[in-house]
Structure 1
Amino acid sequence: MVNNTDLTICLFPKALSIPSGFVTLGICIGNVFVIVSVYSIRSLRKPCYIILASMALVDVLTGIFGFVAGLLFALHGRFFYFGDTVGWLLHKVMVSTIALSLLHHLLLAGDRYFAIMYPYMYIIKVHNRSVMLTLIATWTIVILGLIVILSPYYSKDVQNVLEYTFMILVSTQMYAFHLRIYCKAKKTAGQVSSSTCQAVQNNRSDFKAARITSIILGAFSICILPSLIHSIVIETQGECGRCRLPFYVCSMLAYANSMLNPIVYGISNKTFSDSYKKIFQKIFQKIIRLC
């Protein structure tokens, strides 16, 4: 029997049901497009984009869990229906997907950091196989962590301490990577813009990829930090603030982050944009044939 006494049952505002449905649909469709693009286009089969594809898979899972949460709400009229065993399990799984998403952002930042700061070592050490092994290890660690937090001996107090410590450490390292990249980009901007050397041109490509990851980090910060700060405030003030409007707004904002990443890829990268168009055309043609 699952102990759910530490979870609060919240009535979900009906006004957020339609926006939540659109966000869920956008998450699933957009991130499936990203995975298909990386798989089908040879030029996107690079370490950085493989990490993006893996992160897209995390976001697809987030969309599926969001759909299940919405279904539970439709059946029971409660947000995640935390009093139910399924809702309790769903809550734990979604916490794990947030942790997995954070680790992917850290991997992206680290990939761009080493590509720009140590380009020659990056070429030798970092390749598709090493990235795949790193991603497998990352997924394995999070799955093992999920097994631990599902244990009846894992208390809520320990969970809160570990969650906040993990988020602070990972976020600090991500911002440190991007700060170093920004300093390097500012220092070498004139050289990259004026030189035609092949090495410098390659460096320009790395900076372009770094710009995409920086935009992703910015969107992540805008969406996730309010939820993190609000969660810390709730822990200090008690559960009374958990079921109020700021709680739902912060939760929806954090959930919408998974929908923004494919949009960022399409705007910032022409290859992704062209791939999206081709996928849309194929789907449209199949729909016409069926009709």
Structure 2
Amino acid sequence: MHDTIRNQLEQDGYVVLQDFLRPAECDELIAAGLELTKNAADSDKRAIFSTTESGKQQHKDEYFLGSNDKIRHFFEEAAIGPDGKLQVDASVSLNKVGHALHLLHPIFRCYTYSDRVKTVCQELGFKEPSVVQSMYIYKNPGIGGEVTAHQDATYLYTEPVPPVGFWIALEDATIQNGCLWMARGSHKSGVHRRLTRNPDKESKEALIYDRPAALYPQSSFTPIPVPKGTCVLIHGNVVHKSAHNRSDKSRHAYTFHVIEKHNNQYSADNWLQEGENAPFLNLYTTPQLM
């Protein structure tokens, strides 16, 4: 099993692990995710999350940069009107909640630091794995925005060992409701672009890209529809994306990123850095209970 998962990740850039969570466990996480939406209507900072050009405002927003050690709400573009008010019910207005669910929320912490996650990290050969960020992704019906083609290492750069994402489908992920699309083998071409903290403190741009976005042909991508409870392991350098959810079914997912801390460097100019309430703890030795 060790060689199978590790070799497949190195060969394809991703691994599909079905039945990673049982249906009842997915339902428990969905209930927790829906509970988080109850605070959305009263949020005084309606930060929009988008990976398209119109979403650049997030890079200037301290609300985003300060989410490393907090649990914060990020809205869909289509959910907010010109006046800043919600145009849809709060329960379906969010793009995601992040980025320290894995440490600060008891239910998400329990699943993140579970034995099954530790076993996968052992099979991947991690010596000192650490979870650096976590997100609950809603992909709500009709307004769930696209995630443009990208590499996770663009945002969470480590050297020489790249990060690994754990992407867990809490509902069936289909082509219609915005499943993942992978460019198999693209991780072998290195990191194509980086987003870093701007060294120019006078600039209005808190974060900057080091080069223009790469263009990827549609033929490079393969859809990865998966049933509820599936975990997709994502190599930090593999190019992946997801489409707009134009269906009438949501596509909730829980995702977090693991880095190797042993003989590996987490870049000091990544947007996300260790926070007072969310240090990069060893996954093997961190308890599930708060």
TM bin, normalised by shorter chain, reads under 0.3
Task: Give the number of the structure whose residues are more often strand, by fraction.
Answer: 2
Task: Give the number of the structure whose residues are more often helix, by fraction.
Answer: 1
How does the TM-score come out when normalised to structure 2?
Answer: 0.24
How does the TM-score come out when normalised to structure 1?
Answer: 0.23
Bigger relative contact order (CA 8 A; separation at least 6): 2
